[in-house]
Amino acid sequence: MSDKAWGGRFDQELDALAARFSASVDFDQRLADQDVRGSIAHVRMLAARGVVSGADADAIVAGLSQLREEIAAGEMPWDPALEDVHMNIETRLTARIGEAGKRLHTGRSRNDQVATDMRLWTREAIDDTARRIDRLLGVLATRAAESHDHLLPGYTHLQRAQPVRLSHHLLAWAEMLERDRGRLLDARARLNECPLGSAALAGTTFPLDRDATAAALGFDRPTRNSLDAVGSRDFLLEAVGALSICAIHLSRVAEELVLWSSQEFAFVEMSDAFTTGSSIMPQKKNPDMAELVRGKTGRVVGHLVSLMMLMKALPLAYNRDMQEDKPPVFDAFDTVRDSLDVLAGCLDSARFDRARMAEALRRGFVEATEVADWLAERGVPFRDAHHVSGRLVRRCVEAGKTLPELTLDELREEHPSFDESIFAALDAETAIERRALVGGPAKAQVEAQVAALRARLAERA
Ligand code: ARG
């Protein structure tokens, strides 16, 4: 008899190439801890239901606990000939404790086992990612609290548009990340069901207590359909989908850091710890970390596409194709984790240049909307007011002036209602303070937003 678990049916050994092609233990050993915990919950339940004896269950639990320590210490000898993490663990358990080990797999299949392991792993990875998002949010809250008085142009089309506070800009990044966290947690809520008891595809004749294993593993409930439980991976599509959106947001933050640290903007100087020099140009200080966060986004979204193609048109229930779900999922989480931490480091240590921002604000006619609003508030139809303001900008461009540098006479040449009070309206701080609606850049608003963010973070800590 072959020593393989399914040996009874087979005369010949698996072809060596086929064995190498199909072995997954090189990557699925990352599921080892989840696999052992799943097995412990399963066998305890089997004993409670009288399917295996208490003595056998105790031996199995003790053996698995010992293996768990061995695995954590990096001392488990993973054998590709045993194919995957599940067979490696079961085989070693039986080698250790003897006959009892062979009873562990009663009422179970690797199909519901691997689905359970992946749900556990993904749930834990989501929790870890959510904590790291919160850490980055904490950095943003700190930097925002320090930068209410850093005024800079807000941009549309990458053209200077209207003045805002740096804190307002940083809080916009925080909003994006808050939603990313929410999306991950939404995916978590949906995936938190236990496949154990689905067995290969059609459930099992053994009187398993599915509620007990679900509860023991921290799942909210057992899955409702055995074919779906072993044959679906949309929980991974959702998780990596949420990660992809998060990565896209990180790439946008990274892109702004790249732009802002250019000499053209010079709004920020990144610390030496998160920049690199050039091997040939001594003056360079390159924002490589931000560029790599931007670049690695392609990798994460690529993993989402891999997973979607993997699942497309698969018939129910389990298919071996699904073994290929693991590398993209693991790498997507690893990449987003590091990107979050690297950006936290970049932002924590960056120095924002208030003077450069103020200078950018002076050039760019960001007061043009104030001019139009000032006229509109005095009864000029907004479209006409907009036109007058546009003509004034054109005058400035031609004369090489800024809007506040125009004289009252020059202003009056374009519209008779201008008076001295227009000059106060052109001040950036005034323009910002007049935007005091919820969500706007006025000081009271951004202060309240920082406080609210900090309160949310404190509640989640
Ligand atoms: N290594 C497999 C996977 O990751 C485990 C399930 C194998 N099931 C099977 N019937 N061959 O998908």
Catalytic residue among 2, 53, 65, 278: 278
Q: Counting every residue, how long is the chain?
A: 461
Would you state the pLDDT for residue 142?
A: 98
Cis previous bond, 317, omega within 30: yes
pLDDT digits (tens, 9 = 90+) for 363-392: 889 999 999 999 999 999 999 999 999 999
**Hey, which of 320, 325, 326, 330 would you mutate to test ligand 1's pocket, going by the most ligand atoms within 8 Å of its Cβ?**
320
Would you state the pLDDT for residue 6?
A: 66
- CB 375 within 8 Å of CB 367: no
Give nearest CA residue, ligand 1 atom 2. 323
Q: What is the pTM of this model?
A: 0.95
From the CB of residue 15, how many other CB atoms can be counted at a distance below 10 Å?
10
Would you state the pLDDT for residue 5?
A: 59
Would you state the pLDDT for residue 456?
A: 98
Q: Which amino acid is at 10?
A: F
Cis previous bond, 189, omega within 30: no
Q: What band does 282 get if pLDDT is binned at 50, 70 and 90?
A: confident
Tokens of 391: 């003509």
pLDDT digits (tens, 9 = 90+) for 24-41: 999 999 999 999 999 999
Q: Compute the distance from residue 320 Cα to the ligand 1 centre, in Å.
A: 6
What mean pLDDT value characterizes the chain? 96
Tokens of 397: 């461009």
- The sign one gets for the Cα dihedral 277, 283, 289, 291 is negative
Mean pLDDT of 112-137: 98
- The sign one gets for the Cα dihedral 23, 28, 33, 35 is negative
Give nearest CA residue, ligand 1 atom 11. 320
249 is catalytic: no
* Dist CA 36 CA 85 (whole Å): 10
Tokens of 161: 């548009």
Which residues line the pocket of ligand 1, CB cutoff 6 A? 24, 28, 84, 110-111, 114, 318, 320, 322-323
- CB 314 within 8 Å of CB 232: no
Give nearest CA residue, ligand 1 atom 7. 110
Q: Which residue has the tokens 């779900």?
A: 325
Q: Compute the distance from residue 10 Cα to the ligand 1 centre, in Å.
A: 18
Closest atom of ligand 1 relative to the 114 alpha carbon: 5
Q: What band does 9 get if pLDDT is binned at 50, 70 and 90?
A: confident
Closest atom of ligand 1 relative to the 110 alpha carbon: 6
Q: Compute the distance from residue 53 Cα to the ligand 1 centre, in Å.
A: 28
157 is catalytic: yes
pLDDT at 2 over 50: no
- The sign one gets for the Cα dihedral 378, 379, 385, 386 is positive
Closest atom of ligand 1 relative to the 83 alpha carbon: 1
Q: Compute the distance from residue 415 Cα to the ligand 1 centre, in Å.
A: 77
**Hey, which of 83, 88, 110, 236 would you mutate to test ligand 1's pocket, going by the most ligand atoms within 8 Å of its Cβ?**
110
**Hey, which of 105, 111, 119 would you mutate to test ligand 1's pocket, going by the most ligand atoms within 8 Å of its Cβ?**
111
Closest atom of ligand 1 relative to the 326 alpha carbon: 4
pLDDT digits (tens, 9 = 90+) for 159-176: 999 999 999 999 999 999
Catalytic residue among 157, 226, 232, 417: 157
- CB 329 within 8 Å of CB 233: no
Q: Which amino acid is at 377?
A: E
Would you state the pLDDT for residue 4?
A: 58
Mean pLDDT of 329-356: 98
* Dist CA 424 CA 434 (whole Å): 12
Q: Compute the distance from residue 55 Cα to the ligand 1 centre, in Å.
A: 29
Secondary structure (DSSP) of 19-86: HHHH--HHHHGGGHHHHHHHHHHHHHHHHHTTSS-HHHHHHHHHHHHHHHHHHHTT-----GGG-SHH
Q: Which residue has the tokens 């142009």?
A: 153
Residue 318 sits at φ, ψ, to 5 deg, of -70, 140
Q: Where are the beta strands (DSSP E) in 141-292?
A: 151-156, 159-165, 193-194, 221-222, 268-269
Percentage of residues of the chain with pLDDT beyond 70: 98
Q: Which amino acid is at 63?
A: G
How far apart, in Å, do the first and last CA atoms of the chain sit?
A: 56
Q: Where are the alpha helices (DSSP H) in 261-325?
A: 288-311
Mean pLDDT of 296-311: 98
pLDDT digits (tens, 9 = 90+) for 213-229: 999 999 999 999 999 99
Give nearest CA residue, ligand 1 atom 12. 323
Residues whose CB falls within 8 Å of the CB of residue 151, separated by 6 or more in sequence, listed in order? 163, 164, 165, 166, 357, 358, 361, 428, 429, 432
pLDDT at 3 over 60: no
Q: What band does 151 get if pLDDT is binned at 50, 70 and 90?
A: very high
Picking from 375, 370, 362, the residue whose alpha carbon sits closest to that of residue 405 is 362
Closest atom of ligand 1 relative to the 28 alpha carbon: 4
Domains of the chain, start order = 22-106 (1.10.275.10), 111-208+219-355 (1.20.200.10), 360-460 (1.10.40.30)
* Dist CA 383 CA 388 (whole Å): 9
* pLDDT top residue among 294 and 275: 294
Q: Compute the distance from residue 115 Cα to the ligand 1 centre, in Å.
A: 9
